[in-house]
């Protein structure tokens, strides 16, 4: 169901001209649809240039959803030539999902806003880039996310019924504000305004998994995969849902398949190692995390996870060495507290780990949305301080019970 068939692959359209001809519309119209309504167009990067292509099956699915969607008022996003150039550059940088490219994306979207201050989508994409910079550790949440919230507030004032803006708001509520009811409402609005916006379904799936509504999360991520079958980002979100719902064997199968298609995707190593750890196979997890460390030139996420696996696998000295590596990266700054807490949980230094998680809460790091159902935290669930932390982030009533989790 999620795979593009051979027949569909033959219906690949390799230019804006062919895509426009498929709809019997002008090229400018279909380009605007991509900007404003998430027309599923893919890009291949060739040095500094890029080419576009699309599959007719994805285009037809998008059109069917669009034809039944409510018609909200449209923001003023008929960009002039210069603003369009910056916007397209920003989208290309956003798709690369690395810290250098994401900062360039913020700069590009700022240029669009400078040229056309009423460009609602530029505000939404800027907020998304700022959020991702925090996810990848390039910006501190308490520094970047207030700017993202201000950006979204401006966009909402211009277009409260814009799907992209509401989806970005939902992500901020999930990963920074920990406001779960507000996140749910924002995603519901985004999908109502544009049912074909795959990122809204994707992020809604992650949100639903965080609050323990796993069957609904599965349905949401499936809708996202149907709308964008080739997205590695959606595959990463699917993996997160599988991990939180403790379907480790299924997660291993998914990640092995993903690595066979893209051996350079960091989230695949993270999630494969998480699944192996969840099954108690810490030696395999160490190998997986180590491969990820090598391929990412020392990702702090993977270094911390390898340290946890070392500790759980009985390699205490190497686990302490991992803590030393993390201290060199983060110094005395609180933004590394969550990473060091992972290793200390593995070392069974639970009091220290909880103190570090409390520090991470002060930094508003996105990873705290794992606390409700992540297997790492099972040894802490009887702790009064941990329960108080769950209360602070609003997950106490939907977290897995300490009496029912699987050891």
What is the DSSP annotation of 166-233? HHHHHHHIIIII--HHHHHHHHHHHHHH-TT-HHHHHHHHHHHHHTT-HHHHHHHHHHHHHHSTT-HH
pLDDT at position 178, please? Answer: 92
In a domain, 123, yes or no: no
What does pLDDT average to over the chain? 86
Counting residues of the chain whose pLDDT is more than 70, the rounded percentage is 88
**CATH at residue 375:** 1.25.40.10
Q: What is the pLDDT of residue 333?
A: 58
Q: Edge-to-edge strand order for the sheet containing 12-13?
A: 12-13, 49-55, 42-46
Which of 10-24, 84-98, 350-364 tops mean pLDDT? 350-364
75 within a domain of the structure (yes/no): no
For the stretch 202-235, pLDDT in tens is 999 999 999 999 999 999 999 999 998 878 888 8
- How confident is the model over 13-58, as pLDDT tens digits? 888 888 888 887 777 677 767 766 678 887 664 444 457 788 887 7
**Model pTM above 0.95:** no
Rg (CA), the chain: 21
Q: What percent of the chain has pLDDT over 90?
A: 56
How confident is the model at residue 228, as a pLDDT? 87
The verdict on residue 97 lying in a domain is no
Residue 138 is assigned to a structural domain of this protein = no
More confident residue, 140 or 184: 184
d(CA 295, CA 44): 22
* Closest CA relative to residue 357, chosen from 399, 328, 386, 329: 386
* pLDDT, position 86: 92
Angle between helices 163-172 and 198-210 (to 10 degrees): 20
Please write the tens of the pLDDT for every residue from 141-193.
Answer: 988 999 999 999 999 988 899 999 999 999 999 989 999 999 999 999 999 99
Final residue of a structural domain among 68, 83, 115? 68
The domain that contains 25 carries what CATH number?
Answer: 1.10.10
- Residue 264 has what pLDDT? 80
Locate 287 and state its tokens: 């190998």
Question: How far apart (Å, rounded) are the C-alpha atoms in residues 227 and 60?
Answer: 10
Q: 66 pLDDT band (50/70/90 cuts)?
A: low
Report whether pLDDT(136) > 80: no
Q: Which helix (H) or strand (E) holds 260?
A: helix 248-261
Give the range of the structural domain holding residue 32, as residue numbers without chain letter. Answer: 1-68
Decide which of 9, 40, 68 is a domain's last residue: 68
For residues 304 and 325, the answer to whether their CB atoms sit within 8 Å is no
- Tell me if 293 is assigned to some domain: yes
Residue 73 in domain: no
Residue 406 has pLDDT above 60, yes or no: no
**Domain membership flag for residue 351:** yes
Q: Is residue 301 domain-resident?
A: yes
Most confident residue range from 93-97, 227-231, 272-276: 272-276
Phi, psi of 44 (to 5 degrees): -115, 130
pLDDT score of 61: 78
Whether the per-residue pLDDT at 8 is higher than 50: the answer is: no
Mean pLDDT of 360-364: 91
pLDDT bucket at 387, cuts 50 / 70 / 90? very high
Instruction: Please spell the DSSP secondary structure of 37-49, one letter per residue.
Output: H----EEEEETTE
Evaluate if residue 70 carries a pLDDT over 60: no
Q: Quickly count: other Cβ atoms within 10 Å of residue 96's Cβ.
A: 13
- Residue position matching structure tokens 């750890």: 277
pLDDT band of 12, cuts 50, 70, 90: confident
Q: Please tell me the total count of domains within the chain.
A: 2
Structure tokens given for 6 = 């051979």
- The CA-to-CA distance between both ends of the chain, in Å, stands at 34
Domain boundary at 68, 93, 125, which? 68
């Amino acid at each position: 169901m999620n795979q593009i068939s051979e027949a569909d692959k033959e219906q690949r359209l390799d230019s804006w001209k062919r895509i426009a001809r498929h709809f019997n519309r002008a090229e400018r119209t279909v380009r605007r649809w991509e900007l404003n309504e998430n027309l599923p167009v893919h890009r291949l990067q060739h040095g500094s240039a890029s080419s576009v292509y699309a599959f007719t099956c994805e285009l037809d699915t998008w059109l069917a959803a669009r034809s039944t969607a409510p018609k909200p008022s449209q923001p003023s996003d008929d960009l002039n030539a210069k603003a369009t150039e910056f916007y397209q550059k920003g989208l290309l940088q956003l798709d690369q999902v690395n810290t250098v490219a994401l900062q360039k994306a913020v700069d590009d979207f700022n240029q669009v806003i400078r040229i056309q201050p009423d460009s609602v989508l530029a505000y939404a994409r800027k907020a998304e880039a700022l959020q991702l910079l925090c996810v990848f550790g390039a910006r501190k949440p308490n520094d970047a996310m207030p700017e993202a919230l201000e950006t979204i507030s401006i966009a909402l004032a211009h277009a409260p019924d814009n799907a992209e803006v509401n989806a970005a708001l939902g992500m901020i509520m999930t990963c920074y504000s920990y406001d779960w009811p507000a996140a749910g409402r924002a995603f519901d609005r985004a999908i109502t305004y544009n049912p074909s916006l795959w990122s809204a379904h994707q992020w809604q799936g992650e949100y639903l998994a965080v609050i323990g509504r796993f069957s609904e999360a599965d349905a949401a991520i499936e809708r996202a995969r149907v709308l964008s079958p080739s997205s590695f980002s959606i595959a990463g979100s699917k993996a997160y849902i599988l991990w939180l719902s403790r379907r480790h064997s299924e997660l291993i199968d998914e990640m092995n398949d993903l690595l066979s298609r893209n051996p350079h995707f960091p989230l695949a190593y993270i999630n494969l190692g998480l699944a192996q750890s969840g099954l108690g196979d810490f030696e395999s997890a160490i190998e997986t995390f180590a491969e990820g460390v090598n391929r990412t030139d020392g990702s702090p996420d993977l270094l911390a996870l390898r340290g946890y696996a070392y500790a759980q696998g009985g390699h205490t000295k190497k686990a302490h060495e991992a803590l030393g590596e993390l201290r060199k990266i983060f110094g005395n700054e609180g933004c590394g507290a969550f990473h060091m807490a992972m290793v200390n949980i593995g070392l069974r230094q639970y009091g220290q780990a909880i103190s570090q998680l409390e520090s991470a809460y002060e930094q508003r790091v996105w990873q705290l949305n794992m606390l409700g159902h992540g297997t790492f935290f099972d040894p802490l669930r009887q702790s009064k301080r941990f329960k108080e932390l769950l209360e602070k982030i609003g997950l106490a009533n939907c977290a897995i019970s300490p009496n029912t989790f699987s050891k």
